[in-house]
Amino acid sequence: MQFDTTSFRARYRASIKPGYNAWLHGGFVLLFGALCIGFLLSRVAAPSPWEWLTVPLALIFYNWGEYKIHKNLGHVKHGFSKLFYQRHTGDHHSFFAYGQMNYETPRDWRVIFFPAWLIAVYATINLTLFWVLSQWNSNVAALFCATLLLGYLAYETMHASEHLPEQHPLLKMPGLRRMRRLHELHHARELMHNFNFNIVFPLWDWLYGTLYWEAEGAESDQPMTRIQQHVDIQRSPDLLLAYLATPTRWHEWHHYPVSIKGPSGTLGAGSRFEYSSERASYLLWDVLEYLPGQRWTARARGNYGLQMRVTYECSPQGTGSRFTRSMEYRFDHLFGRLANRLFLHRRLQQDSADLLKHLGIVAEHVIPSAGTASMNGLQAGGTRVR
């Protein structure tokens, strides 16, 4: 069921106090932060070249902190951070959804910006850290803490920019439109807990493999790798495919542990489920097609830009079925493409062969034969008549 963003927006706007001033909110954050940065930079005196290295290192550190806090506190509910979780996942992701990313009035900034008091808390922490580090080196201390404060202001500014209308002139600035697109993908409800956590620059999304890119109306230019194998199983195509199209039973025929979160039973087109295992880490699956006894197709997205399409086909073969498993995949991420060239393709080929071998053994034990299934159906039908 699709979330009703319009109704949530109406309720949220009605709850905003009449005295709220968006310009005062944003202006206070920027001015207070700028004054603190100015104070810290005034403490810098003739820094050496190695001391200037503090700035890029602090930017990398801030970017990492932005990623971790967003991912682990904004999208995972903990008792000590439940207010942040509610404000972020509960409010922000309900107010803005994929395809509904634009703020409409300045009062909508309330659900974009952090609370105004947070800049004061953050600045106090940084000024305390400056005092501690300055006992060792005042230039490094000032540059480090000023950069962390600059990161906070950059986050607020970039985040607000990523909720601008697509045709806004500011989005012509280099890189800003791409960051807006990454953030829009993050706001897709099926992606938000797993991809695109960086707001200012996607460094740690790239390094951790959680960077997900999907151009509007365009296909990736990376070619798909294809693996296709088959096995003959003494069960009817209808029963066999119904079993294979039930992801909550995949653990029965996978030769390694898998975990499935999603609906039980045979899944048809439009269904969605989550998969995790020691082999593929995390995959988000969408079922594209189910033709009973013939074909089941699903698409998956995973870390390191993994895009996968799996097709299960069954055709009559003697008294049973020939099952053909076709898997097409690609990595949009450099690390994924490199791993695929070095070892992953060979491992996936072997895994696919092992899967089908194991399936051939398991299926004939857990799937009833056509005759047994028919007899059970007649018995069940007879019971219903009586």
Q: What percent of the chain has pLDDT over 70?
A: 93
Return the structure tokens found at 152.
């906070």
Do 59 and 177 share a domain, yes or no?
A: yes
Residue 187 belongs to domain spanning: 5-208
Is 219 inside any structural domain? no
**Confidence band (pLDDT; 50, 70, 90) for 119?**
very high
Range with the poorest average pLDDT among 137-146, 150-159, 163-172: 163-172
Q: Number of structural domains, the chain?
A: 2
Question: In the predicted model, what is the mean pLDDT of residues 298-318?
Answer: 89
**Confidence band (pLDDT; 50, 70, 90) for 381?**
very low
Instruction: Name the most confidently modeled range: 51-55, 273-277, 329-333, 362-366.
Output: 51-55
Whether 378 shows a pLDDT value over 60: the answer reads no
Nearest to 177 by CA among 161, 198, 154: 161
**Confidence band (pLDDT; 50, 70, 90) for 137?**
very high
Whether 384 shows a pLDDT value over 60: the answer reads no
Tell which phi-psi region holds residue 175, choosing left (phi > 0), alpha (psi between -120 and 50) or beta.
left
- pLDDT digits 0-9 by tens, 190-208: 889 989 999 999 999 999 9
Question: In the predicted model, what is the mean pLDDT of residues 100-121?
Answer: 93
Question: In the predicted model, what is the mean pLDDT of residues 133-147?
Answer: 96
What integer best gives the mean pLDDT of the chain? Answer: 89
Whether 102 shows a pLDDT value over 60: the answer reads yes
DSSP per-residue letters across 96-149: SBTTB----SGGGGGGTSPPHHHHHHHHHHHHHHHHHHTTT-HHHHHHHHHHHH
In eight-state DSSP terms, residue 19 is T
**Confidence band (pLDDT; 50, 70, 90) for 2?**
low
Question: In the predicted model, what is the mean pLDDT of residues 335-355?
Answer: 89
Do 266 and 142 share a domain, yes or no?
A: no
- pLDDT digits 0-9 by tens, 18-35: 999 999 999 999 999 999
CA distance 181 to 186: 9
Mark which of 208, 238, 261 sits at the end of a domain. Answer: 208
Do 95 and 60 share a domain, yes or no?
A: yes
Is 237 inside any structural domain? yes
In eight-state DSSP terms, residue 317 is E
Is 375 inside any structural domain? no
pLDDT computed for residue 6 by the predictor: 86
pLDDT computed for residue 386 by the predictor: 28
Mark which of 179, 208, 237 sits at the end of a domain. Answer: 208
Q: What percent of the chain has pLDDT over 90?
A: 66
CA distance 306 to 334: 11
Do 162 and 264 share a domain, yes or no?
A: no
Do 10 and 156 share a domain, yes or no?
A: yes
pLDDT computed for residue 385 by the predictor: 29
